[in-house]
Amino acid sequence: MDHLSFISPTRNSPWGTYLAQVEATLPYLGRLARWAETLRRPKRALIVDIPIELDDGRIAHFEGYRVQHSLTRGPGKGGVRYHPEVTLEEVMALSAWMTVKNAAVNLPYGGAKGGIRVDPGQLSLKELERVTRRYTSEIGIIIGPNQDIPAPDVNTNGQIMAWMMDTYSMNTGATATGVVTGKPIPLGGSLGRVAATGRGVFVIAREAMRRLGMPLEEARVAVQGFGNVGSVAAKMFVANGARLVCVQDHTGTILNEAGLDIARLLDHVAQHKGVVGFPGADLIDNENFWDVQSDVLIPAALEGQISAERAQRLRTHLVVEGANGPTTPDGEAVLAERGIPVVPDVIANAGGVTVSYFEWVQDFSSFFWTEDEINVRLDKILVGAFKGIWETSEQHRISLRTAAFTVACTRVLQAREERGLYP
C-alpha cells in the first residue's frame, strides 16, 4: 500500500492509532473489506494561511486546517479546535474518528474536523474574532449546511460558532444558521447542546456498568479534564449516587477519597479557571493521577494520554473515553491484557454530535424542541447504538472499540459500495 506522502505517522501518533484501529476491524468486514482503503485516505484536506492585524498593528500569520475524511454518508461534521500543537495529522485522525462516530450512532453525516495552530489565551477577544472570521472565509469554499458543518471543540465555544456563522452568511449573502452547530440559543442553537457530550459519557458509562454488573451507587470516579465534557459527566455521576474522588485539569490534580463536593468545585473552577486551590481536596502530583483507585476512569482531555506505561499502573475497573483518542494502541493492548474494558470515544462521547444533529435538523425546519425532548431522544439513540455495539462485541468476542469500528465501517463501506465510483 502506498502511504500518504504528506504525513509520517508512528504507531501511537493520532493517525497511526486510527490506522491500527481500522486494521483490527478488517477481519469482520466480510466482502466490504475490498473497499477498506477508502477508510485510510481522507477525501479532502485543506491547509490555509490566516493573516490578521494584531491590536498593536503588527501582522501575524496562523496555520489553519479543514479535513473532510469521508462524505459518503452525508455532509461532513466535526469540530474546530484552537491549540498551539494542532497538526494536519492530528486533524486528519480526528476527522476519521468523526466518520466512525457518526456512523456508529447512525447519523447521516460523514466525518470532518478543523483546527488552527494558535494559543487563544495569547489573543485578545478582537484578535480571536479576526482569526475566526478569516479562517471561516478561507475554508468557506468547502463548508456549508449541506457540505460540511463545523462545531465547537478544544478551546472553541458558542461565541466562535456565532462568528463563523455570521462570516459564512455575509459571504454567501443569506443567513445560514445550519452552517455550524453549537451556536448560542438566539442564533438557532439547540437546548441541551452544551451539556450533551458529558451527558452522553454518563449515559454510555451507566449502560456499560449495568452490563458489567457494576453498581453506580458509591462508585469511585476519576476524571481527567474538567472542561465541558468532564465536568458535566462528573456532575451526572454524582447526581446518580457515585463519588467523584479525583480530578485533573490543566492546572493540576486534586484528590478527596471521601468524594469531592461537585457544586462547590464547579463554583471554584468558574471563579479560578482551574481545580487547583480547591479547599475540599488534596493536591497530588499530576503523574499520580494514573495510580488513583477508581471504579470508572474518564479521560476527557486530549488524545494519547493512556500510554502502555500508564495503562500498566491504572487501578480502575472501567475506562470510558470522554476525549477523542485518549488511549494509544500500546496502552489499549496492556488494558486488554489486564482485563480492563475500554468504552471507546466513538460511542462514549457521541452525545455532542448527536445533539449537533438535532440542532441542524431544528435549523432546517425552523422548529425547536424542548430540552426534555432533546434529552429523551439523545438517551434513546445512544442506548440503542451501544446495545448494537455490545452485541457485536459479544458475538465476535472482540473489544468494544473493534465492535464499534465494525458496526460503523460496515455502514460507511456499504454506502461506498452502493454509491460506486464516479466517474
- Phi, psi of 282, deg, nearest 5: -95, 145
- Alpha-carbon gap, residue 130 to 121, rounded angstroms: 14
- Alpha-carbon gap, residue 423 to 410, rounded angstroms: 23
- Determine the residue type at 191: L
- Alpha-carbon gap, residue 310 to 287, rounded angstroms: 9
For residue 380, indicate whether it is catalytic: no
- Alpha-carbon gap, residue 133 to 171, rounded angstroms: 11
The DSSP secondary-structure symbol of 74 reads: S
- Alpha-carbon gap, residue 311 to 318, rounded angstroms: 12
Distant-in-sequence, close-in-space partners of 292: CB < 8 Å, separation ≥ 6:
222, 245, 246, 255, 284, 315
Distant-in-sequence, close-in-space partners of 234: CB < 8 Å, separation ≥ 6:
198, 221, 223, 226, 244, 247, 262, 298
- Determine the residue type at 115: G
SS3 218: coil
**If you write DSSP's letter for every residue of 289-314 in order, what string do you get?**
GGGSB-SEEEE-S-SS-B-HHHHHH-
**Residue of 113, 273, 380, 387 marked active site:** 113
Q: In what order do the strands lie in the sheet with 342-343?
A: 282-284, 252-255, 243-249, 220-224, 296-299, 318-320, 342-343
Rg of the chain over Cα atoms, rounded to whole angstroms, equals 21
Residues annotated as catalytic are: 113
